[in-house]
Amino acid sequence: MTDQGRGSPAGGAGAVDGTVDGAAAADGAVDGAAAVDGAVAVGEAVAVPGPREAGAAEAPDAEGSGDGGEDGGGGHYIVCGGNSLAHRLIRELTEQYEVPVVAVVPDRSREHGPAIAAIPGVRAVLEHSTVTGEALAAADVEHARGIALMDGTDQENIHAALAAENRNPGVRIVLRIFNQRLGEHLEKLLPNCAALSASATAAPAFANGALGRPHTVEVGGRQLYVAHDGDIRPDQLCLVADRIDRQDLSRLRLLPETGGRAADFIRIAELMGGGEQLGSAGRPDPAVGREPGGLAALQTLDTEPPLRQPLRKRLKWWLLDGLKHFTNTRLRMILITAFAAIVLGGLVLARHTTHSGGFGWTLYFTLLDAAGAVQPDVPGQQVLGDSWARAAQVLITFCGITFVPVATAIVVEALASGRRGVPRPPGARTRDHVIVVGLGNVGTRVAALVRATGLPVVCLERDPQARGIAAARTLGIPVLIGEGPLEAQLKHARVKHARAVVAVTSDDAANLEAALEARAVRPEVRIVVRLFDDDFAHHVYATLGNVASRSLSYLAAPAFAAALMGREVLGTLSVFRHVLLIAELTVEEGAGLDGRNIGDLEGPGGVRVLAVRLNRRPQDHLWNFADRSRRLVPGDRIVVAATRAGLARVIQ
């Protein structure tokens, strides 16, 4: 059930703290990655039918040398890896940026190798088990514009990055790494390097989907998110999609050609006014037909929506779960019986003792007797009370004695469980929790993000060696491990009391099975599944109304592609199965943005300018910049919401 493999990503949006960074391992096999153990380095290039002409494939603003390589091309990009993220990244580069790509895969015949070889624009496919100096030389890294390392462990990727930098100083390097602190240090060591995490980029979308709150991207102290139809506010930043039909998402248009901000506001007014089309005088105009389907707009939140459970509930969960974990049924019965006997003895003392100090004194004598500090009556000096009081004192004393070995057993069990690394099972009172199926990198980050909100989390994992189990134990998250039927595991995880189920294994079929089993037990539970195949995801969404699907590679690949092209993507937002990029672009002298105005950028569609940072006021984000005709000058920065094609257009 784990989605872990040999890689390890870190860095990027939604990162989890160092506890998870050190505990969850590499995810080079995430989302269907190919294993590379035992593969033989072949170093044989496979010519791919129908490649693009090298001259037509160059990105005008890409960094690196444009000299010709061994094949007479040069100016290409190298993508190393045979997993789904490498597959998506190559498609991004060839389809959106139209640059030539040389792919280095562990095995051309397995996993995503055949699909990568079939992509038009792939100049060659090389087969190497690891990215060695021989592999880099075969891929002609000396003449490459950039290299992306999508597979392998952190150490292997760093080694390959240093080797590429040594062979081609200044080459653009993007690597997938899990340890975020290590990635930050590497970016300082190699200024032309970006260390990103696929799981950290995508995990917030899964977590927010489970919590039923919008996924946000932080820009200039604001949180941007996508709102739909009735949730759109008058102060929205821009419309990002129209013609939204949940039964036919192929009709959806993401950032279509715009008639200006006024047209957007009119369409929102029509939506909020009940759907009537407004004429020139502001009255309904029956002659004008309204675009069918729903709308989506980009809005801002001042802060992330708070979502924490009351302290009283969390304390109750902690006490009940701890009691169940560290005691068995027999010990709990002994404790309950002894406690009830002490309470009964205290009530008897209150009625039959000779002292009249009230409740406080009765509690004082009861606690001392339970602790073994009893002062017995002697013949002729009956200071405690009558025979009932003495019987109660004996009962309290003997029941108090039973607490000592029970407490010792609890302490020993706690220490032994910690040393054995045994994760806690879910407590009997676990309710309103989130179940995470699969403790790979994505699952580990999702569990940590949900846990950070204060909500209880329960994890399911079939592989007892999954490193995410250690991370969950460190965070105090219950984990169920085993190969038993998924239905039984979900019931043991108390799915009938859960608020959401997040299935994030690397197997689409296993994720769908978890979704269907959860629905069978509790039809109203919120479900988020990780699916790679777009057509499969579309049918799942159309058939199962309350199931949201996310793809790690689909969410992360645009950010990796933009980083490889030297552009800063601040984050990604999903509009159903479409990806919206939030990026900040710097205007450079003589580059494509120099001298253009906002109207020029937005007119063809695919791009909306959200904020402008003028070169004379770089610290201020000017949202909804009013002067749409002002030409951009070197040093200006613009924050844009863009499709992948739109971002590729404006940076050229």
pLDDT tens-place string over residues 103-127:
999 998 888 999 999 999 899 999 9
Q: What is the pLDDT of residues 237-277, one digit of tens each?
A: 888 888 888 778 788 888 887 655 556 666 666 655 554 44
Residue 292: is it exposed, middle or buried by C-beta count within 10 angstroms (0-12/13-18/19+)?
A: exposed
Q: How far apart are the first and last CA of the chain?
A: 42
Q: What is the pLDDT of residue 157?
A: 93
DSSP state of 621: -
621 CA to centre of own chain:
27
Task: Characterise 192 by phi-psi region: left (phi > 0), alpha (psi -120 to 50), beta (else).
Answer: alpha
In sequence order, what are the beta bridge partners of 303?
none
Residue among 243, 242, 285 at smallest CA distance from 264: 242
Low-confidence ranges of the chain (pLDDT < 70): 1-74, 258-292, 302-309, 314, 317-318, 321-328, 354-357, 374, 377-385, 413-425, 427-429, 545, 652
**Which domains, from first to last, does the chain contain?**
18-197 (3.40.50.720), 231-297 (no CATH), 311-420 (1.10.287), 567-650 (3.30.70.1450)
Radius of gyration of the chain (CA): 31
CA atoms within 13 A on the CB side of 517: 22
Output the 3-class SS for 38-74: CCCCCCCEEECCCCCCHHHHCCCCCCCCCCCCCCCCC
- Geometric angle at alpha carbon 581, from 207 and 586, rounded to 5°: 130
Q: What is the pLDDT of residue 197?
A: 87
Alpha helices in 168-291 (DSSP H): 180-189, 198-211, 261-272
* The two three-digit tokens of residue 396, written as one number: 């309290």
* The two three-digit tokens of residue 620, written as one number: 């201020």
Q: What is the pLDDT of residue 36?
A: 31
Distances from the Cα of 358 to the Cαs of 349, 351, 364, 382, in angstroms?
Answer: 11, 10, 10, 19
Residue 539: is it exposed, middle or buried by C-beta count within 10 angstroms (0-12/13-18/19+)?
A: exposed
Distance CA 571, CA 14 (A): 9
Distance CA 502, CA 203 (A): 11
Strands (E), 505-558: 526-530, 547-550
Q: What is the pLDDT of residue 258?
A: 63
Residue among 215, 213, 227 at smallest CA distance from 271: 227
